Amino acid sequence: MSGHNKWSSIKHKKAAADAKRGKIFSTLSKEITLAAREGGGDLELNPRLRTAVAAARAANMPNDNVQRAIKKGTGELGGGALEELSYEGYAPGGVAVLVNCLSDNRNRTAANVRTCFTRHNSNLASTGAVGWLFQRKARFVVDGSDLDEDKLLELLLEGGVDVEDVTTLGDGIEVLAPPEAFAQVAQVLDNAGIAIRESGQTMTPENTIEITDPKTARQVVHLIEALEEDEDVQEVFTNFEMSDELMEQLANE
């Protein structure tokens, strides 16, 4: 598992503060809007929308916010059109970075992402420079309070899902599958009544870079956090690895 996935599990401790700043709700709303725009507003016919709404409810997003995001995606409400944007670059230590954004202002988003890289001793790269280092996967994180990896894997295999990886992340369990299996995984989890905390398409690295120097690790983590705090950034993917002890040290600073 890439270091950034482990770092994400540690960051759950900060989720309450993020919600107060509106970042979590903003990110979830944009995902709902995009899913509704691409596949329609019917949850039964749109697996991406169904799982996005489930994640929003798990984060205690008010239903009015959910419905407003859906209507914005279907065109029932006005508002600037959202555009999917991607940026690639390198963090200290040669760490590859992919940044996926949803924005109604391309110029603003590009300027903000560029500033984040510059301020954290990192460099933007041309399209495709690091993208080839990653593979797209369908990713789900579910509540692990009543499940373990073996039970969940068995459930998915019995449902005919081509599972690639099942891993415990704190009090949740992460499932990775081929991108085309997204709807099937969502259906199996839904039928079993398993709460979905997060869902979407992710990018997993083919190879990773291990970071042992605390200064370099700190710079990489600070870049990730700065990017994730931007209102237009939906996801940040990297290929770094570092020890659990070093991650805990950084998380407690």
Point out which residues pair with 155 in neighbouring strands.
none
For residue 159, the model assigns a pLDDT of 92
Maximum mean pLDDT: which of 12-16, 49-53, 74-78, 116-120? 116-120
> What CATH fold (topology level) applies to the domain 83-133+206-248?
Alpha-Beta Plaits (3.30.70)
Q: What is the rounded distance in angstroms from the CA atom of residue 86 to the CA atom of residue 68?
A: 25
CATH 1.10.10.200 residue ranges for the chain: 3-74
Give burial (CB, 10 Å; 0-12/13-18/19+) of 12. Answer: middle
Indicate the CATH number of 3-74 among 3.40.50.720, 3.90.700.10, 3.40.50.2300, 1.10.10.200: 1.10.10.200
- Interatomic CA distance for residues 175 and 152, integer angstroms: 9
Task: Characterize the bridge pairing of strands 233-238 and 209-210.
Answer: unpaired
d(C-alpha 27, C-alpha 232), whole Å: 8
Mean pLDDT (the chain, rounded): 85
List the end-to-end C-alpha distance of the chain, in Å, as a whole number: 23
As a whole number of angstroms, the distance between CA 127 and CA 90 comes to 12
pLDDT at residue number 78: 66
In the chain, CATH 3.30.70.980 covers: 83-133+206-248, 134-205
Confidence of residue 1 (pLDDT cuts 50, 70, 90): very low
Tens-place pLDDT, residues 138-171: 888 888 777 888 989 999 999 999 899 998 887 7
Confidence check: pLDDT of 13 > 70: no
Per-residue pLDDT of 193-209, as tens digits, reads 888 877 777 888 988 99
72 pLDDT band, cuts 50/70/90, is confident
Q: Give the model's pLDDT for residue 79.
A: 63
Q: Please report which helix (H) or strand (E) contains residue 174, including its range.
A: strand 172-177
On the question of pLDDT at 96 being above 80, the answer is yes
pLDDT confidence band for 118 (50 / 70 / 90): very high
Confidence category of residue 102, pLDDT binned at 50, 70, 90:
confident
Predicted confidence band of residue 5 (pLDDT cuts 50, 70, 90)? low
Q: Which run of H or of E encompasses 138?
A: strand 134-143
Kindly tell me if the per-residue pLDDT of 175 is higher than 50: yes
- pTM of this structure: 0.74
- Which stretches of the chain are DSSP H helices? 3-11, 15-20, 23-39, 47-58, 63-74, 106-119, 149-158, 182-191, 214-229, 244-251
Percent of the chain with pLDDT over 90: 37
Is 188 a residue whose pLDDT tops 70? yes
Enter the CATH code of domain 134-205.
3.30.70.980
* The one-letter amino acid at 191: N
pLDDT band at 80 (very low <50, low <70, confident <90, very high): low
